Structure formats: structure tokens, C-alpha cells
Amino acid sequence: MEQILTVYKASEYCNVSPKTIINWVEAGYIKAYKTVGGHRRINMADLESFMKEKGIPIPTQFVPDVRKRILVVDDDPIIVETIVQALEEDEHDYEVISASDGFEAGLQVSHFKPHLIILDIMMPDIKGTEVCRKIKSEEETKNTQIIVLSAYLDEEKFEEMKRNGADLCFSKPLPLPQLKEEVARLLNPV
């Protein structure tokens, strides 16, 4: 369930006056809607996105204790199990699920709302460049990190995937320690 804030709560969160929040909403900086009674409501994710964009620090007492969600998409069950197990045992306590085809992956992106997707781009029913482009072009998923996997990844393909939204690319066989390190870096920036 998305967290919805009143103007007053949003002002506490940003350490500004409620009037400043209203001004930001009216200027179009923050998305908001009005209740039937005329009161503004702000989605927490929209407020946090605005704060990050403007360099406003997010107070730690307001940051929810949310496990980072990872979706592993690969049609090879051994690779899926290896990655899922490695990430579930990681010190960062990730919530990890998997999908074995494009249809299931689409459903999981919609319902699970992963923070990061580890995507095999050489699956029969998936075009990696299109998947990356679609994820990065949708408002709801544009901040989702994408790590691409492929047994046939050359420098040209790597650059193409980066242009279409991939954050990182790895060749198979998979270097698990390096993958775990990069996942931690993408999901827990310092």
C-alpha cells in the first residue's frame, strides 16, 4: 500500500512550513491530489523523488524500514536458484523472487514492484533492449535498477543495453561476488 501524506506531514518530512509544500504543489514540483473536502494529499514516493531531485536530505526517522526487492528473470533454473540463494543470504536482507519467462516477469514487475531487476536478455520470449526501454520509460518503474545477464555479451551489445536503460551488464558464467557487490552498490548508495 502506498503511503499518502497530508500537507502538514509532508512539511515535517521536508522540514519546511505547510505553506511551502502548498507552493511547491501549486508550482508543479510535487504531484498531489485533493480530497472531496479540498485537502491536498501527497504520495510519499512522489515527495521522496522531489526531495532527491532537489537535494533535500531525507530524515532517517522518516525512512521506512523497507527491504529492497529484487526480481531475477532467467529461464535457467540453476542460475535462478544460485542468484536467489546468494542474494537471500546476503547481509542486506533482500526480498528476492524470480520469473522464468517474459509474461511472468511482467506480472512480477507490476505486482512486486522490484527496486532492481536481474535480467537474462537471451530468453526466447524476451527482447532485452525493449524490456529495459519499457521499464525505464514508465513513470512507476523508471527508477528501477536493471542488471543485464547474457552468455553472448560483447562490448557493442553492452553499450546498446546501456543506451536502452540497463545500469550494469554481466557476462555468464556469473561472477557471484562481483554481482553481489554491484547489487549492494546500486541498492544502497552511500
Chain segment 34-86, per-residue pLDDT in tens: 988 888 999 988 998 999 899 888 776 665 556 899 999 999 999 999 999 99
Residue 165 backbone class (left: φ over 0; alpha: ψ -120 to 50; beta: rest)? left
Side-chain-side CA neighbours of 72 within 13 Å: the count stands at 23
Superfamily of structural domain 69-187: Response regulator (3.40.50.2300)
Exposed e or buried b per residue across 108-137, where buried means at least 16 C-beta atoms within 10 angstroms of its C-beta: bbeebebbbbbbbbbbeebebbebbbebbe
Give the number of other CB atoms < 10 A from CB of residue 21.
26
pLDDT computed for residue 63 by the predictor: 59
Q: Which CATH architecture does the domain made up of 4-62 adopt? A: Orthogonal Bundle (1.10)
Q: Is 161 exposed, middle or buried (0-12, 13-18, 19+ CB in 10 A)?
A: buried
**Average pLDDT in the 88-114 region?**
90
Share of the chain above pLDDT 90, in %: 58
pLDDT computed for residue 1 by the predictor: 42
Phi and psi for 82 in degrees, rounded to 5?
-60, -50
Supply the Cα-derived Rg of the chain in whole angstroms. 19
Which grid coordinates are listed for 61? 526517522
Q: Name the residue type at position 73.
A: V
Q: With 50 as the cut, is the pLDDT of residue 2 above it?
A: yes
Between 90 and 78, where is the model more confident?
78
Between 153 and 83, where is the model more confident?
83
CA separation, residue 13 to residues 6, 48, 61 (Å): 11, 9, 9
Chain segment 102-149, per-residue pLDDT in tens: 899 999 999 889 999 999 988 888 888 899 999 999 999 999 999 999
Give the number of other CB atoms < 10 A from CB of residue 84.
18
Strand pairing of 116-120 and 95-99? unpaired
pLDDT computed for residue 61 by the predictor: 60
The domain locations on the chain are 4-62, 69-187
pLDDT computed for residue 60 by the predictor: 64
